[in-house]
Amino acid sequence: ALVAALALVLSACTDGSPTTLRTIAPVSFDTPLAIPPEAESRVDASGTRVFELTAQEGSTELLPGTTTTTWGYNGSHLGPTLRAERGERVTAEVTNHLGEMTTVHWHGMHLPARMDGGPHQPISPGETWRPTWEVDQPAATLWYHPHPHGETERHVYLGLAGMFLIDDPEAAPALPSEYGVDDVPVIVQDKQFSQDGQFSRESVQEPGILGDTVLANGTFGAFHEVTTELVRLRVLNGSTARTYAFGFDDDREFQLVGSDGGLLAAPLPLTRIRLSPGERAEIVVALDPGEDTVLKSYPPELGDVASELAFGGEDTIEVLQLRAAEELQDSEPVPVELAEIEPLAEEEATVTREFTLASRLINGRSMDVDRVDEVVEVGSTEIWEVSTDDPLMHNFHVHDVQFQVLDIDGEAPPPELRGLKDTVYLEPGRRYRLIMRFEDYADPSAAYMYHCHLLRHEDEGLMGQFVVVEPGQTPQLAQAPPDQH
């Protein structure tokens, strides 16, 4: 049955050429993990923290002796780590030095729709876009990436992505926090290279590009020198299509301390954490002096076709070696309490909406930038029931809010899904009830997106739009940019 369904999936989306799942290139860990620089910023006269980002093309040596044309922000590949405190006002001055339109979306950020950087905020070549907002959410590992409709996969795949860390000095449990030392960003992305060393997007398989080369912050075969007893990894699945189940090669336990939207209530001991595209996990792992361990991704345990496809077959993928020094500095133990998460109660919800993902459609419709799919009243709490019966892999991402998983098929979610989330993996055939509150930023003229975060699916229409309004307001979208479909 598995093989038959696989064949069906592949025949549904190919031009008939034979497809094999790629095997992962072997890794020797001989390159230090690149750490994205922390972005410089200035504070202007009004007290606003101002970042400058320039999207540009360049070339990068990602594989030894190979020069690849890549895109990046303020550099040739990926982007700097933006960092701001809760309560701060920030402005991003985003300049487009590419030869084509792009956008920058602040994934996981609670902010007005016209600042969101989705398909309705195009930045033409040579132009600068200046969104500004107040950071008003818990400390978290967020990220930013382009979102031009139909082109998101290509822009992200070429290298446009970076982290956006939110700090909250008033709620800062003692976790490793020295950036790049014991608090380490890990952006995981798979690539496939053509003969001449360029990124190849050629893919006839579901669920999209499953590259044979997995990079961490753009480094292939990365190691990180650990100098403290505990190290915190902020892992982002920045891949376009591949899902990972991260763990260590010796199966050591680690503590999950944070999910997409912030810290968990308490640390959760685990040996595996599954991350689909767009999801983040903050984990803390302990090392003994002189030892090493490898962060890798294991094959899926579900055994269903969708996850086989999502993970790219039986591949075990080595991502990052951690090497402990002979002497390690003391780390404070992970606190038993990390954050207060106010649970949203089912009784508070006034609206329930259903979303069924099938092939490239949500509720039977393909993305249309001129159509408002859902109208939400500001201040309301809603339950979104999301499911798919596809033998394809999907996840579900909602802009503007962090949601809580109320239940899955009526059962309490597993502990790793009890924190704040903005993206959730959809196991086929299961019904996810997500609860969320739309606190503020009513604007009848601007839309937020919800979509599958497998970027090819999203580009091919698996996306919809919602507008947050004051009671009684009718949405009236500002005219959609002409150069998108």
Q: Where along the sequence are the contacts to ligand C2O (CB under 6 A)?
A: 105, 107, 145, 147, 278, 397, 399, 449, 451, 453
CB of 45 to Cu ion, least distance (A): 45
Q: What are phi and psi of 419, to 5 degrees?
A: -95, -160
- Residue 240 or 293: the one with the smaller Cβ distance to ligand C2O is 240
Determine if the peptide bond prior to 207 is cis (ω within 30°).
Answer: yes
As measured in angstroms, the least distance from the Cβ of 485 to ligand C2O is 17
DSSP 357-412: EETTEETTB---TT---EEEETT-EEEEEEEE--SS-EEEEESS--BEEEEETTBP
Task: Report which residue's Cβ sits closest to ligand C2O.
Answer: 107
83 binds, among Cu ion, ligand C2O, none (CB under 5 to 8 A by kind): none
Q: Report residue 421: phi and psi, to 5°.
A: -130, 150
Least separation in angstroms between residue 104's CB and ligand C2O is 11
Question: From the list ligand C2O, Cu ion, none, which binds 234 (C-beta under 5 to 8 Å, kind-based)?
Answer: none
Place of tokens 């139909």: 150
Please state, in angstroms and rounded to a whole number, the distance separating the CA atoms of residues 56 and 76. 7
CA distances from 128 to 94, 120, 456 (A): 5, 15, 27
**Binder of residue 454, out of ligand C2O, Cu ion, none (CB less than 5 to 8 A by kind):** Cu ion
Q: Judged by CB, which is closer to ligand C2O: 120, or 224?
A: 120
The partner in contact with residue 433, picked from ligand C2O, Cu ion, none with C-beta cut-offs of 5 to 8 angstroms by kind, is none
- Cα distances (angstroms) measured from residue 208 to each of 114, 201, 347: 30, 9, 39
Q: How far is the CB of 355 from Cu ion (least distance, A)?
A: 12
The residue (of 279 and 390) whose beta carbon lies closer to ligand C2O is: 279
Query: Which residues fall within 8 angstroms of residue 139, CB to CB, at 6 or more apart?
Result: 86, 165, 166, 167, 168, 171, 172, 262, 263, 339
- Least separation in angstroms between residue 180's CB and ligand C2O is 24
Burial class of residue 368 in the structure, from the number of CB atoms within 10 Å of its CB (0-12 exposed, 13-18 middle, 19+ buried): middle
**Which residues in this chain contact Cu ion in the complex, by CB under 5 A?**
394, 452, 454, 457
Q: Find which of ligand C2O, Cu ion, none residue 280 binds, CB within 5 to 8 Å per kind.
A: none
Residue with smaller CB distance to ligand C2O, 208 or 278: 278
Question: CB under 5 to 8 A by kind: which of ligand C2O, Cu ion, none does 452 bind?
Answer: Cu ion
Q: Between residues 296 and 394, which has the closer beta carbon with respect to Cu ion? A: 394
Count CB-CB contacts under 10 A for residue 485: 12
Is the Cβ of residue 107 or residue 234 nearer to ligand C2O in the bound state?
Answer: 107
Shortest distance in whole angstroms from residue 164 CB to Cu ion = 24
CB-wise, 422 or 443, nearer to Cu ion? 422
Q: Which is nearer to Cu ion, 214 or 452 (CB)?
A: 452
Nearest approach in angstroms of CB 214 to ligand C2O is 19
Given Cu ion, ligand C2O, none, residue 224, with its beta carbon under 5 to 8 Å by kind, binds none
User: 32-41 as b/e, with b when 16 or more CB fall inside 10 Å?
Assistant: ebbbbeebeb
Selection from 75, 73, 250 nearest residue 144 by Cα: 73
Residue 14 beta carbon to Cu ion: minimum distance, rounded to whole angstroms: 17
Q: How far is the CB of 326 from ligand C2O (least distance, A)?
A: 41
CA 242/CA 389 separation, integer angstroms = 19
130 contacts 88 by C-beta, under 8 angstroms: no
9 binds, among Cu ion, ligand C2O, none (CB under 5 to 8 A by kind): none
451 binds, among ligand C2O, Cu ion, none (CB under 5 to 8 A by kind): ligand C2O
Helix (H/G/I), strand (E/B), else coil: 347: helix
DSSP state of 102: B
Nearer to ligand C2O, 272 or 353 (CB): 353
